Structure formats: structure tokens, C-alpha cells
Amino acid sequence: MLTGKRVLLIISGGIAAYKSLELIRRLRERGAAVRCVLTRAGAQFVTPLSLAALSGDKVYGELFDLTDEAEMGHIQLSRDADLLVVAPASADLLAKMAQGRADDLASTALLATDKAVLVAPAMNVRMWEHAATQANLAALKARGVLTVGPNEGDMACGEYGFGRMAEPQEILAAIEAALGLPGRLSGLRALVTSGPTHEPIDPVRYIANRSSGKQGHAIAAALARHGAETTLVSGPSQLPDPPGLRTVRVETAQEMLAACRAALPVEVAVCAAAVADWRAAHAAQHKLKKDNGAPAALELAQNPDILSELSQAGGQRPSLVIGFAAETERVVEQGRAKLARKGCDWILANDVAPGTATFGGESNRIHLITADGVDDWPQMTKTEVAERLCRQIAATLGR
């Protein structure tokens, strides 16, 4: 809970500003007092009236608004809060912060504050990737500014990549962490598998699949954000190691199993990896040459089933073992069968048929299958799936 905490929310220009309305609601639900500063560009996207209605407070805009200065100076405004949150943080505001400029109320409050500052960047992917933005961000981080996001995904401008503002629930968890509040899952140990596995055929070739690791990484990051002591066992994935947790990188299913066993005991295990079911029975020591007569057939051996192993780990079995079922037809029916076969507690069944863009894509449609029945979740981003799963885990474990 955030009871008694005061957040100064600075909203700069960007289409993501609409998500800040939701953030204000969530903050107030949790007992925080929210006061908003809206930049001139931010006011192009949300109105002061909406912010005032949701925050239940006056909204501050211009630095030289004499009424504001008479009621409360910018110094006091920035120091009255327990935390300053900039969401969305535009490329322009981040640049101003990095340079220490103070030409409007938002930048002045950010320069005058003696409190922690959390930024949720939101911008076009090229702007985000630009060396100038990255240098500004690095300078801010070096000064202790906290960040949340941005996430990867489709952008309002029609491009794709990093630059989408973090979801309100993620920002909320980052606010709790920034305020040093124990997350809902603090004290809990969690293990997550993610990504594909690569099973060598010879030193240069391998068996693999199309998993990106996005869903598993998002779940590990969300568990860590909510305070769980998290180990992520990741197969080869292009994704960076998420912050705030321990990542163990592996190649093969056998290595993944060994890393999972080494991470026990944990209270919660989530198997999101797309483990290769088969490996080459005899991986060649040297590159297979076709002029030596390539093997007519590849002899395969079955890989260990990590989800089943964790579900049957005897005294070391996590209290909650959660698996995924990637199906292309009869999704719920096959998910139910998988729950029984693997001996896990929950299955998140999802449709990975061609056209659904689940593999490598940014969203997922989940059917949560438990002993109690099936809960159909709407289509949502993989980050939202991760957040919802964390809430479900917290509720089930009575947190």
C-alpha cells in the first residue's frame, strides 16, 4: 500500500499521457496522494480537468503563474512530495533534465527537488535509440534517477520497437520499490525459465525454435518488481537481462534443468521456456562435412521435461508450479490435458497458431487453467500478462 505517500506526477508531451490517467487512479486506490504538473506539450494530450478530477487536487502548469507561486512555490511543490514521477518522460524533458535546464515548472521542480525521481520514458523508437537520448539517460542514471521501461511494441506512430511507456501497473511497482516499500511478493523466491533452447548437432548447427523469450523475461521482471527474489534461467535470447534479478544463461535443455535444480528451493516456479523436446542423440565433435557423406537421418534423444521434473521434485517441489501450453488447436482442451500430464498447478494455455503472432510478438491471449476451472483473459501485452499473473500468484499465496 502507498497510504500517506505523496507523489508529484509530471506529465510531459506524448500519446502515452493517457496512461497516466490510469496511473493516478491506481495510485489513489493504493492510498497515495497525487499532485500533477502538466507541461505545455503534455496539455496537448490530456486536459488539466481530467487530471484534477482524478487526482482530487489542483493541477500545476506554468512556472510564472502567479497564483501558483503565491499558493505554493516550485521549490515547495517539488519537496512536498515523497517521490517525483515523470510519466510519460519525453525525449525533450529527459534532455532538459540531463542538462539541468529550468525553463518551465516541470524542469524547475525536477532541478529543485531533493527527493528521488523516477522516469517512465515514452517516445518514438528512433528517438529512444538516438545516441543523444541514450547519453542523456546514462547521465541521469549516473545521478541516481530511477527508470521504468520503455517497453518494446507497436507505437502510435506506426513504428515498432522500444519506446512504449511502461504500463501503469509496472510504474506502480517501480514507485513502490523507489519508496523502499516491500513489494507484494517480497520474501518469496521465484524461478522462471524463458526463451528457446539450442540443441547442438555439431559445433555450428543446432535444433531450435522460434521462441523470443519475451513472455518469460516479462514474468521474471514482474516477479522481481513485486519484490520476489527471482532467478531467471534463460535459453539463448536476444533480450537483455532484466534488472533486479539473477539471470542464468544456458544453451540446452539439460543445462536448463541443471540450472533450475540449482535454483531450488523456491516457492514459485514458472516454466515459460520453449524447451526443445528433442536433441541430437550424438552431437558431433567436429563440423559435419557433406563430402564425408552427411548422415541420412538425425538420431534424436528425448530431452528432460523441466516442468514435470519441478512438479515432481518431492520435498523440493515449489508450492506453486506454473507452466504454459503452446497450442495451435483445441487450446483449452489440450491445456487441461497438459496440466494433468505434467502435474503442475496452473497452465497458461495460449494459441500459437500462425497468424496469432504470439511467437516473437508482443501480445498474448491466455486461458488460465487450474484445478478450479478456466479463466479466459482478454488479449493483452506480454507485460500485462506478467502483471496479471503476479497478482494471481500474490492472491493465491495470500499476499
- Binding interface with ligand CTP (CB under 6 A): 193, 253, 271-275, 277, 303, 305-307, 323-326, 338
Pairing of the two strands 189-194 and 268-271? parallel
Q: Where are the alpha helices (DSSP H) in 113-250?
A: 125-129, 131-142, 168-178, 214-225
Q: How far apart are CA 148 and CA 170, in angstroms?
A: 8
For residue 177 the three cell numbers come to 520499490
Between residues 74 and 338, which has the closer beta carbon with respect to ligand CTP? 338
Q: Which residue lies nearer to ligand CTP by CB, 288 or 337?
A: 337
Q: Closest separation between CB of residue 272 and ligand CTP, Å?
A: 6
Catalytic residue (one of 36, 157, 260, 344): 157
Q: Nearer Cβ to ligand CTP, position 17 or 306?
A: 306
Q: How far is the CB of 349 from ligand CTP (least distance, A)?
A: 8
Dist CA 168 CA 383 (whole Å): 11
Spatial distance between the Cα atoms of 270 and 142, rounded to a whole number of angstroms = 34
Torsion of CA 218, 222, 224, 228, to 10 degrees: -120
- Residue 153 or 216 having the CB closest to ligand CTP: 216
Reply yes or no on whether 157 is catalytic: yes
Pairing of β 373-376 and β 366-370: antiparallel
Q: Quote the least distance from Cβ 376 to ligand CTP, whole Å.
A: 18
Instruction: Tell me which residue of 163, 224, 165, 147 sits closest to 393, measured CA to CA.
Output: 224
Min dist. Cβ of residue 334 to ligand CTP (A): 7
Q: Which residues are catalytic?
A: 157
